[in-house]
Amino acid sequence: MATFETNADEVRVNGVVQNSGSTTNDFTDVVTYTLVSYEGINTFRVKVYDYDLPTVWIATADGSGITSKTVWKTGASIAIYDGTKINLNGTTQIKGRGNMTWGGAKKPYALKLDSKASVLGLNSKSKDKRWNLIANYYDKSDIRNDLALEFAHRSPGISWSSYGTFVELVLNGVHLGNYYLCELNKISKDRVNVVEQDEDTEKTKPVGFDYSGGYLLEFDSYFDETNKFHSSITTDYKKEGLPINLKSPDWEGYDMTYIQDWILTLEAKLTDADIASTDYMDYLDIDSYIDYWFVYELMRNGELSHPKSSYMYKDSDITPKVDSKIHAGPVWDFDLALLSASYTGWIAKSHIWYGYLFNDPAFVARAKVKWNAQKADYQDLADNYIDALAAKVKVSVERDIDMWGNAYDGSLTFDEIVAKFKTYLSNRINWMDTEINSW
């Protein structure tokens, strides 16, 4: 039964007069509400869902939608319900996000809460203002990004990659379907844990400003950040250096001399004909690069070839917290992974700096050791994690498919896609195991 308030003289459902809180209806299918008043007759088709996932409710201050990726809409209310329990109740700024996905029908969004908050217990309940609502519009299964992040979490060389969970999103009273609520890739003690450079200090340029870090870099051919440069190594995609964007520091006028020279020095060592004789490992953390490569190969993600959404970070030279080498990670953007029918062949082994790293026998040997130490966890993901995840999100994803359709995966059902992923990943792991152990 439904409870309602209305100024209408009479409310009917499928022709039957309704009494608030007492008339029983079958809401398993669409029902038609009819409101009769002196102003006329209005009809509404209503479908009621029983959400198994947490629900994010957002209402903009003026009731209008989100049309910009660059301008924050302020003063929006946000409430997150985990079952009947309120997990978050506050206000937020919201804008669009993404590149390719922003052009799709189902839009992704960025959130900037007005106050730091922990959300649904993600990442040991760390508090932050910045969160993403990933649409997964081009992924019919909706689970590819989550699988990649779980591979990263099972890879000890990757210090951090985003934690997320699936939710239902209701924006201005309209249910938009299944979304992936996750942490933003950013510098903070609970995310990319490096020193954050200070804009005011850099602009006044006092003696001793530390340009050595920290940095959050994105290798991305969109090349659309305020601070950006091309490295010295040409890419397969364009005959120019790797497109390196500074996600942080991100203010206009930042002096990039240090990081440009640092990358130039590293690339000179990587491209040396006798790479093994150089000290490139003093500049580059090989465990992170090996595990990062594992994730992209396991998921058969071709983003490194463009490159797109390929993150690296570097801490300060003078901080004692961690080393100041460049590290690979966090992993990001896997909604177009696992599309190939072939589980053989390398997809990332020659891109970015990997074509040089695999020329070093020490790098190859370390990759072999790490693979054999970690492959059981990867196989467990294929054997067990996917089933548990699929059971959790199945109803929501199938409803999402009905709402939005899909760009890929053809006519396959959700169950068929999940079965395909399990078979593919098991075959992929077996093939990689044979290849790596033959080195």
Do 170 and 225 lie in a common domain?
no
Do 275 and 363 lie in a common domain?
yes
Do 222 and 362 lie in a common domain?
yes
Q: What is the pLDDT of residues 40-61, one digit of tens each?
A: 888 877 766 667 899 999 999 9
Q: Is the pLDDT of residue 237 over 60?
A: no
Q: What is the pLDDT of residues 422-433, one digit of tens each?
A: 999 999 999 999
Do 299 and 334 lie in a common domain?
yes
Indicate whether 162 belongs to any domain.
yes
Beta bridge partners of 86: 81
Do 176 and 213 lie in a common domain?
no
Do 62 and 32 lie in a common domain?
no
Q: How far apart are CA 150 and CA 160, in angstroms?
A: 11
Q: How far apart are CA 405 and CA 290, in angstroms?
A: 36
Which strand (E) or helix (H) includes residue 260? helix 257-270
Domain boundary among 375, 394, 425: 375
Q: How far apart are CA 334 and CA 303, in angstroms?
A: 8
Do 122 and 258 lie in a common domain?
no
Range of the domain at 343: 199-375
Indicate whether 90 belongs to any domain.
yes
Residue 431, phi-psi category: left (phi > 0), alpha (psi -120 to 50), beta (remainder): alpha
* Structure-token pair, residue 36: 């009769």
Rounded average pLDDT over 353-367: 97
Peptide bond into 214 cis (omega under 30): yes
* Structure-token pair, residue 253: 């006028």
CA 286 to chain centre: 23
End-to-end CA distance of the chain: 66
Do 211 and 331 lie in a common domain?
yes
Phi and psi, residue 150, nearest 5° = -70, -40
Q: How far apart are CA 347 and CA 90, in angstroms?
A: 44
Residue whose pair of structure tokens reads 């608030």 in the numeric block: 20
Question: Comparing 21-35, 157-171, 298-312, 374-388, which segment has the lowest mean pLDDT?
Answer: 21-35
Indicate whether 114 belongs to any domain.
yes
Do 206 and 119 lie in a common domain?
no
Indicate whether 226 belongs to any domain.
yes
Indicate whether 81 belongs to any domain.
yes
* Structure-token pair, residue 93: 């700024």
Indicate whether 330 belongs to any domain.
yes
Indicate whether 278 belongs to any domain.
yes
**pLDDT at position 53, please?**
96
| C-beta of residue 226 within 8 angstroms of C-beta of residue 239 | no
Residue closest to 392 by CA, chosen among 109, 150, 189, 142: 142
pTM of the complete model beyond 0.75: yes
**pLDDT at position 328, please?**
98
Q: Which residues contact 419 (CB under 8 A, 6 or more apart)?
A: none
Q: Are strands 174-183 and 55-59 parallel, antiparallel or unpaired?
A: unpaired
Question: Comparing 127-131, 199-203, 217-221, 277-281, which segment has the lowest mean pLDDT?
Answer: 199-203
Residue closest to 43 by CA, chosen among 20, 14, 16, 1: 14
Do 354 and 226 lie in a common domain?
yes
- Count of domains forming the chain: 3
Do 88 and 216 lie in a common domain?
no
Q: How far apart are CA 123 and CA 132, in angstroms?
A: 14
Indicate whether 4 belongs to any domain.
no
Do 316 and 354 lie in a common domain?
yes
Cite the DSSP H helix spans in 117-213.
Answer: 144-153, 199-204
Q: Is the pLDDT of residue 158 over 80?
A: yes
**pLDDT at position 48, please?**
62
